[in-house]
Structure 1
Amino acid sequence: MLDPSQIATQRRQPILNVPTVITVLAAVMLAIQLVRDWVDPDTGIEILALFAFIPARFDPSILAEGVLPGGTGADVWTFVTYAFLHGGWSHVGLNLLWMLAFGSPVARRFGTLRFLAFFVVTVAAGAGLHLVTHEGELVPMIGASAAVSGCMAAAIRFMFASEGHVRWQPDMMSASVRYPAPPLTVVLRDRRVIGFVGVWFLINIGFGLLGPAGLTDGSIAWEAHIGGFLVGLLMFPLFDPVRHYPDEPRLSGRYRG
């Protein structure tokens, strides 16, 4: 049973408690999509050429220097800026829904600065793997899916962290943002994690295998998803600020209610 003070605290909790950094990122992506819909087609192409990730930019045998705008600076910033561009409202909406679900707990755990650094690293990793697998390609890559994939991977590193440390409570999953994450070798022994990772990889590899056959949308940058996911999974400890167990007593055996 919850005491009156706990009930009052829960009643004061907003229905959607979204971290500010997630709200700001979402607002920026939506605003950019609005601008791209508003400008003329030529300007839209210029925006893609300047900020989308185009593998051919890095192959002088395909594109001579100066053909694409931005020069050396664009060689660097497009590893990140492509994540803020999307192919349409359904594309940006889907990415933001997944970021809301998986990015919110990661942002609460990391804090704003760490989360922004994590966002940059995962989208850059996605672009890097896309570059390796699409060398010299002229088709631009856009979308925040690599960052979303990184957030999914980061979330499974700690989403069950509070189990075995506190009594069962309705918000135990959200409370896990306060608990130290177990080592990756331990996480990957959890059947829930194995199932999630297995299904996730099957879906993304399926896009890669079925796309050339015309059975799925071949424009899906599934390699970028995998790049963001792997970096989020493996580099999670570098961003994680939680180092010590809270003061709650650790319970042995089954959870007690």
Structure 2
Amino acid sequence: MFPIRDHNPSGKTPYVTFALIVINVLVFLGYVSMDDWDLQRFFMTWGLVPARFTSGAGLETLFTSMFLHGGFLHLGGNMLFLWIYGDNLEEEMGHVGFLVFYLACGVAAGLAQALPDPASPIPMVGASGAIAGVMGGYLLMFPRAKVDVLFIFIIFFRIFAIPAWVVLGLWLAIQIFSGVSTPSDVGGVAYWAHVGGFVAGLVLTLPAWLRRGGQGYWQRTEGHPPHPETHFEASRSNVPLIRRRR
């Protein structure tokens, strides 16, 4: 299940969203050719290592870690989510406001991952905590904006347009469940960073939502984007379905 686009067009050029994507890609290309040993040292230096951070060292890694990624799929997935949700929040918050919001969500995500297990020696890297904040803000501003989600069922696929509150709410539920069920000493996905970033995004978007009238804004827009949405024709698989004979 992959969100691939939303029906929420932006009326302004999202310069900060573009810049963040470019910076993340360029940083990744700068170290992707390192051998495993050098890459491990690089992540230990610039990634957020809870044991080092909570001892008072490496405070800058709260910021540097959110521009590092563990592989092409990690980078590509994060940049896709930033592209889908970032432009609309940037339009609502302004370029500078959105940049401050993005970095603040990334910091909150790092703290949410580091503080519950302050002795962990595992470095955290990735923009997903900051992007989770963008998703939280998007949920508050446009809960009923349609998001096209690609479902892959083994031999066929189908794109469904689903309200943002369903897509993002399901995503958040998966992060919470996975965070609770995954031992803290196991490396992998930083689920609590996702949850912390998402909650921070909700909270930090509240002022923008309240300035527009809060629940009155939802009533005026019915949770949809405050402008005409983009319409796409859903794609179907060309692979025929063969039903079992009885």
TM class by smaller structure: 0.5 to 0.7
Counterparts of residues 202-241 of structure 1 (less than 5 Å): 202-212=173-183, 219-238=188-207, 240=208
Q: Match for residue 51 of structure 1?
A: 46
Identify the structure with the greater helix proportion. 1
In structure 2, do the counterparts of structure 1 residues 251 and 210 end up closer, same or farther at CA, with 3 Å as the change threshold? closer
Question: What is the CA-CA distance between 1:252 and the residue it aligns to?
Answer: 11
Kindly provide the amino acid, as one letter, of the partner of residue 233 in structure 1: L
Q: Match for residue 20 of structure 2?
A: 25
How large is the RMSD of aligned CA atoms in angstroms? 3.5
In structure 1, stretches of 5+ residues that fail to align are: 1-13, 61-70, 162-171, 174-191
Question: What is the CA-CA distance between 1:211 and the residue it aligns to?
Answer: 3.2
- Contact kept in structure 2, 1:110 and 1:241, CA below 8 Å: no
Q: TM-score, normalised by structure 2?
A: 0.67
Question: What is the CA-CA distance between 1:18 and the residue it aligns to?
Answer: 5.7
In structure 2, do the counterparts of structure 1 residues 198 and 160 end up closer, same or farther at CA, with 3 Å as the change threshold? closer
1:159 lines up with 2:154 in the alignment: no
- Contact kept in structure 1, 2:143 and 2:164, CA below 8 Å: no
Deviation per CA, 1:37-71: give whole Å up to 9, x if none.
123445433432332100010355xxxxxxxxxx8
Kindly provide the amino acid, as one letter, of the partner of residue 33 in structure 2: W
Identify the structure with the greater strand proportion. 2
Taking the aligned partners of 1:103 and 1:129, their CA distance within structure 2 comes to 22
In structure 2, do the counterparts of structure 1 residues 193 and 29 end up closer, same or farther at CA, with 3 Å as the change threshold? closer
Which structure carries more relative contact order (alpha carbon 8 Å, separation 6+)?
2
Q: Which has the larger radius of gyration?
A: 1
In structure 2, do the counterparts of structure 1 residues 160 and 88 end up closer, same or farther at CA, with 3 Å as the change threshold? closer
Q: TM-score, normalised by structure 1?
A: 0.64
Q: Percent identity?
A: 27
Q: Match for residue 128 of structure 2?
A: 145
Question: What is the CA-CA distance between 1:193 and the residue it aligns to?
Answer: 6.9
Q: What is the SS of the residue equivalent to 2:32? A: helix
In structure 2, stretches of 5+ residues that fail to align are: 1-8, 147-162, 214-218, 223-246
- Contact kept in structure 1, 2:68 and 2:125, CA below 8 Å: yes
Q: Which moved more, 1:26-35 or 1:38-47?
A: 38-47
How many residues of Structure 1 are paired with residues of Structure 2 in the alignment? 193
